[in-house]
Amino acid sequence: MKKILFVSFCLFLLLCLYFSDKGYAIQLPDGMTVNKTLPLGGQTSGNIVIANNGKEAETVRIYQTDYMFSADGKNNFGSPGSMPRSNAKWIKFTPNQVTVAPGEETSIFYEIAVPETSDLRGTYWSVIMVEPIPQDALKPPNPKKDKATIGVQAVFRHAVQMITHIENTGTRALQFSNKALKVQAHKTFLTIDVENVGEQWLVPQLYVDVADSGGNAMKRYEGKKFRIYPGCSARYVIDLGKLNSGKYNALVIADSGENEKVFGARYILDVK
């Protein structure tokens, strides 16, 4: 029986800010985020540049998905337009597939048109995927007689986050949850989940001001900065260093930058 079974596994998804695409032939030199602020009924357009730094021609396909994520590490790439804050239907782009010669660049042209719908508020987003097509998938089958061939191919996708903010609208609010302490290698780590319960995206950096049980300030500890869309959440892990057993007062501060609200919560940390 003549057949080829081709199995393609998507092993990695490259998201802006969190993964370097250095070393792969297809790269996006202008970054992985298109961030626009528009009024109701507003329109804009632009290009996403695709570069081929490899030695062979690369064929890529371009398509849309929605995108949500949560503090437990789950990522949801739904069909375009399926999520409440998707802007996928506002976006048109071309081409859907292109071949890029080695050492050359090409562009995806996009247009964004915000509807004139009065109830739109805050931040909306979706993703344009740029996915190289494996060379084996472009070749016609040539199976050997009475043999089946199984191929395993890693596919690296670039996810360009297409973000639209409705001008001068949207509430900003964060919620803290799932606080936990963990001692590892003689260090204490504070884990806390931060959820965006507002309508605008926020990019908060976490700080933890620790004081002893008597209220005497000890030290400020700095956490990472994450982009959090409305309805999404991120897990922060803050290294508090070596703390002796006992109870401590902690003020957790989420600072989203200049002209943004600062959010905070107070906790008692019981280090054992």
Contact yes or no for 48/110 (Cβ under 8 A): yes
pLDDT value, residue 2: 36
Average pLDDT of every residue of the chain: 87
Q: Same structural domain for residues 202 and 232?
A: yes
Q: What percentage of residues in the chain have a pLDDT greater than 90? A: 76
Contact yes or no for 171/200 (Cβ under 8 A): yes
pTM assigned to the model: 0.83
The Cα–Cα gap between 109 and 60 comes to 15
Residue 137 — very low, low, confident or very high, per pLDDT cuts 50/70/90?
low
**pLDDT surpasses 70 at 20:** no
Q: Same structural domain for residues 112 and 8?
A: yes
Please count the residues of the chain.
272
Burial of 177 (0-12, 13-18, 19+ CB in 10 A): exposed
Number of domains the chain contains: 2
Q: What is the CATH number of the domain that holds 86?
A: 2.60.40.10
Q: Same structural domain for residues 149 and 256?
A: no
| pLDDT per position as a tens digit, 87-121 | 999 999 999 999 999 999 999 999 999 999 999 99
Name the residue with tokens 């600062």.
262
Q: Same structural domain for residues 135 and 16?
A: yes
pLDDT value, residue 146: 54
Name the residue with tokens 């943004």.
260
Domain span including residue 244: 174-271
Here the tokens at position 173 are 């609010």
